[in-house]
């Protein structure tokens, strides 16, 4: 019974977020991370493009954001 509960909790936590990525033609990688609360309401929609330690075109909940100066 403990194993079932543990696997249920793992599945539950996995359904609270989604992450997508795809490589762009110029070697950058586009990433989208979406986070939901337990009722399925979207809390965060983060989109950015990353290459190495650089970010560009970062959007948080539909608004352009500069994460670093």
pLDDT tens-place string over residues 7-56: 444 444 446 899 999 999 999 999 999 999 888 899 999 999 999 999 99
Longest dimension (CA), the chain: 51
pTM above 0.75, yes or no: no
DSSP state, residue 12: H
d(C-alpha 24, C-alpha 62), whole Å: 21
């Amino acid at each position: 019974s403990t194993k079932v509960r543990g696997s249920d909790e793992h599945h539950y936590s996995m359904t609270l977020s989604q992450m997508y990525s795809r490589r762009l033609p110029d070697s950058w990688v586009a990433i989208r991370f979406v986070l939901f609360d337990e009722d399925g309401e979207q809390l965060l929609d983060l989109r950015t493009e990353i290459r190495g330690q650089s970010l560009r075109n970062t959007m948080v909940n539909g608004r352009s954001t500069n994460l670093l100066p």
